[in-house]
Amino acid sequence: LLMVLLAILFLDLAVYGQHVAFHKVPLLWRLHRMHHADLDIDVTTGLRFHPGEIVLSMVIKFAAIAVLGAPPVAVLLFEIILASTAMFNHSNLRLGLGLDALLRRVIVTPDMHRVHHSVLRSETDSNFGFNVPWWDRLFGTYRAQPTAGHEAMQIGLPIFRSKRDLRIDRMLVQPFIGTGSVGLEGGH
């Protein structure tokens, strides 16, 4: 049981590290920005990833599993937890300040993760965790609230904001579209 719990935590740390890398490495950001281009965060945002990112994510997770020698039951449980929390923390569910403050000590809440989908780079480059908030707190990437507040904050990217940009054919080519200025991408 202890090995299963430790494996789940290690895999969660690996996914946190992967998420940070997808924001910090320009080539990886080009793949990941499809996820951040959504203008209305909801459970479907948790499914919105470029196929290239999905494949690369699988390779990274397989490597983490191999390095750890994680028991199959730990991998299965981790994937169930990850899929569930991805839907939960991308939902537009409002928990109330008291309940949210209590829950975000042990799990990533929708309000906590919503900050990560802000158009402001300082907010986008925070709250990378999916399952537990501890990695963000440990590595200094935790941000409690958005500057503008949850009601006024703008979701998405400064680029890719038109209806045309949000069609599936356009989203699939987003990694290959330059902007001419890194600053237009929120500094990534």
Q: Does 182 have pLDDT greater than 70?
A: no
Is 9 within the bounds of a domain?
Answer: yes
Residue 76 has pLDDT above 90, yes or no: yes
Q: SS3 for 141-186, per residue?
A: CCCCCCCCCCCCCCECCCCCCCCHHHCHHHHHHHHHCCCCCHHHHC
Length of the chain: 188
Q: Which H or E run contains 86?
A: helix 72-89
In a domain, 186, yes or no: no
Instruction: Say how many CA atoms lie within 13 Å of 109 toward its Cβ.
Output: 20
pLDDT at 180 (0 to 100): 39
Per-residue pLDDT at 179: 59
Domain-embedded: residue 185: no
Mean pLDDT of 159-163: 85
pTM to 2 decimal places: 0.89
**Residue 137 included in any domain:** yes
Q: What is the pLDDT of residues 104-156, one digit of tens each?
A: 999 999 999 999 999 999 999 999 999 999 999 999 999 999 999 888 999 99
pLDDT at residue 84, as a whole number: 95
In a domain, 125, yes or no: yes
Domain total of the chain: 1
Give 155's strand partners.
118
Does residue 9 carry a pLDDT above 70?
Answer: yes
Express as a percent the part of the chain with pLDDT over 90.
76
Domain assignment present for residue 64? The answer is yes
Residue 187 lies in a domain: no
Domain, as residue range, for 140? 2-178
pLDDT for residue 181 is more than 80: no
Q: Which of 6, 4, 29, 5 is nearest to 18 (CA)?
A: 29
User: Would 127 be classed as within a structural domain?
Assistant: yes
